[in-house]
Amino acid sequence: MRWILVVPAAALLTVSSAWGQAPGTPPPVHVETRAMPGRDVKQVNAQGTIDAPPHIVRAVIADLERYPAFMPYVKESRVLSRDASGDVRNYQRLSFGLPLVQDRHYVIRITEWEYRDADRRRAWAFVWRLEGDLPSGVSRDAVRVSVNSGHWDLRPVAGSESATDVRYCVFTDPAGALPKWLVGLANAEGIPRLFAAVSTAAASPRYASLPPPSEEGPVAERPALGDCALERR
């Protein structure tokens, strides 16, 4: 059986089409893997275009508590806290419905930036990293993910008001008994399905009808987004 792991501000374990996949037709996605010195798993980078404006794609990515409604295999997603700085602590539990495969769970801290692209248009970035503690009261029958960091970068497509250039980076280890080489293969093959899930959600009335933000007011410069395996924000 073929395993597929992707991480949308979290880890998603999926399997071949016989078991189901993200809804919608995936947009074309270019995926690259990169070995990281001293690490058993590889960093994965992806780029694709989603047919929706950046503020719509941003709304999908930010809607953490609705992930179970559109992100494959996300059984639970809870916002635990929001800092004064705007950072969000998010608990997620993933359930795959397969024999002998335990759920995975973890807490991540997510930082969001709104910034100007090279043409001074609004863009957004989300950076996440693994947090140490699980919330009290959660079931301990799931495997705790040991490595999970990454980012989304959502930029307007040049010359378009209705498409988003989506850059995605993830570095994750789902822990448990899955071989590291299989995890790397899974990341590379599963990310187009993640893009499909976000694309399908962005086309739904819940998000597609959201008005664009006002162009007034200051917006920060683009944050430095490097190797997500090394991000410690």
Amino acid making up residue 22: A
The helix/strand/coil state of 15 is strand
Question: Residue 104 — φ and ψ, nearest 5°?
Answer: -115, 150
The mean predicted confidence, pLDDT, of the chain is 82
Domain assignment present for residue 228? The answer is no
Domain assignment present for residue 227? The answer is no
Between CA 54 and CA 161 the distance in angstroms is 9
Domain assignment present for residue 19? The answer is yes
Domain assignment present for residue 58? The answer is yes
Per residue in 23-51, pLDDT (tens digit) is: 345 678 999 988 888 877 788 899 999 99
pTM of the model: 0.84
What domain range includes position 133? 3-212
CATH number, residue 142? 3.30.530.20
Predicted confidence at residue 233, as pLDDT, reads: 46
Looking up tokens 């962005």, which residue turns up?
202
Element (H, E) at 3: strand 3-6
The pLDDT confidence band at residue 205, using thresholds 50, 70 and 90, is very high
Predicted confidence at residue 185, as pLDDT, reads: 59
Predicted confidence at residue 203, as pLDDT, reads: 96
Instruction: Name which of 18, 19, 22 is nearest 8 in CA terms.
Output: 22
Amino acid making up residue 141: D
Question: Residue 57 — φ and ψ, nearest 5°?
Answer: -60, -40
Per residue in 133-147, pLDDT (tens digit) is: 899 888 888 999 888
- If one counts every other C-beta atom within 10 angstroms of the C-beta of residue 171, the result is 24
Per residue in 188-204, pLDDT (tens digit) is: 667 888 899 999 999 99
Q: Which of 23-27, 85-89, 196-200, 220-224 has the lowest mean pLDDT?
A: 23-27
Domain assignment present for residue 157? The answer is yes
% of the chain beyond a pLDDT of 90: 46
CA dihedral 147, 153, 154, 158 (to 10 degrees): -150
Between CA 156 and CA 132 the distance in angstroms is 34
Predicted confidence at residue 139, as pLDDT, reads: 84
Instruction: Name which of 128, 124, 228 is nearest 170 in CA terms.
Output: 228
CB 33 within 8 A of CB 187: yes
Which tokens sit at 142? 């799931």
CB 88 within 8 A of CB 74: no
* CA distances to 11, 14, 184, 193 from 2, in Å: 17, 9, 12, 14
Domain assignment present for residue 23? The answer is yes
Domain assignment present for residue 225? The answer is no
Domain assignment present for residue 107? The answer is yes
Domains: count for the chain: 1
Between CA 72 and CA 191 the distance in angstroms is 12
